[in-house]
């Protein structure tokens, strides 16, 4: 039984998840919560090793099934070594990407199929689900233009794999995120990520207070 709050941020390239994760974690700490900010793929030593296999290299490096299985292996390690122990201690976990990204990217974008990804994810995730998922939505072209401005080495590697995939991939992926939000309105909130950073953060905090206010200090 977990006791901490589990919040995930999802969305396509250039949606600003990493920035908004940092702002959200800071705001939650200001409320007196113990907060762990983590990410996927990654978040544990083994999962970070797998991350490097996924974000580097050529676009066609992996088949959709191979890539999904690598992501699930990373998620299994991340859950076991980072997320679940933190939640069991009452920590609020704020994660940049989780299962919905695999459904959207590999299931939707790579056309493996959302149902197939959910079936494969069952033994890894089980009944585990975020308390709140914030889906940062932005038009594909605008998101990719934003992503091109990032300058750190890892982001450049990421561009070589996902951001170099064709526009149709990104459109399918975005639509899959929107479908997930429509299917699970109790868990998911769509945030307009095309707005200024402070406005996006304000919308995120409004969603957090609305969905989780009873559990916040």
Task: Express each pLDDT in 158-211 by its tens digit.
Answer: 445 777 788 999 999 999 999 999 999 999 999 999 999 999 999 999 999 999
Which one of 3.30.230.10, 3.40.50.300, 2.60.130.10, 1.20.1260.10 gives the CATH number of domain 6-215? 3.40.50.300
The model's pTM is: 0.93
Pairing state between β 132-137 and 188-192 = parallel
DSSP secondary structure of the chain: ---S-EEEEEESTTS-HHHHHHHHHHHHHHTT--EEEEESS-SSHHHHHHHHHHHSS-TTSS-HHHHHHHHHHHHHHHIIIIIHHHHHTTPEEEEE--HHHHIIIIIIIT-S-HHHHHHHHHHHHTT---SEEEEEE--HHHHHHHHTT--SHHHHHHIIIIITS-HHHHHHHHHHHHHHHHH-TTTEEEEETTS-HHHHHHHHHHHHHHHHGGG--
pLDDT at 2: 59
pLDDT, one tens digit per residue, over 90-148 is 999 999 999 999 999 999 999 999 999 999 999 999 989 999 999 999 999 999 888 87
């Amino acid at each position: 039984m977990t006791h901490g709050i589990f919040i995930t941020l999802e969305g396509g390239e250039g949606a600003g998840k990493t920035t908004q994760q940092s702002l959200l974690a800071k705001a939650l700490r200001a409320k007196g919560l113990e907060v762990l900010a983590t990410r996927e793929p990654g978040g544990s030593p083994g999962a970070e090793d797998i991350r490097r296999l996924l974000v580097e290299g050529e676009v066609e490096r992996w088949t959709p099934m191979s890539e999904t299985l690598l992501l699930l292996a990373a998620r299994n390690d991340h859950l076991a070594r980072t997320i679940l122990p933190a939640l069991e201690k009452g920590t609020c976990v704020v994660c940049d990407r989780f299962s919905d990204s695999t459904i959207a990217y590999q299931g939707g974008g790579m056309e493996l199929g959302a149902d197939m990804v959910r079936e494969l994810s069952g033994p890894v995730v089980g009944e585990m689900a975020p308390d709140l998922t914030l889906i940062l939505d932005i038009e594909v072209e605008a998101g990719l233009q934003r992503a091109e401005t990032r300058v750190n080495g890892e982001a450049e590697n990421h561009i070589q794999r996902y951001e170099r995939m064709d526009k149709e991939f990104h459109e399918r992926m975005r639509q899959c995120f929107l479908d997930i939000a429509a299917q699970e309105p109790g868990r998911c909130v769509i945030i307009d990520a095309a707005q200024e950073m402070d406005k996006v953060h304000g919308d995120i905090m409004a969603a957090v207070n609305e969905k989780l206010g009873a559990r916040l200090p």
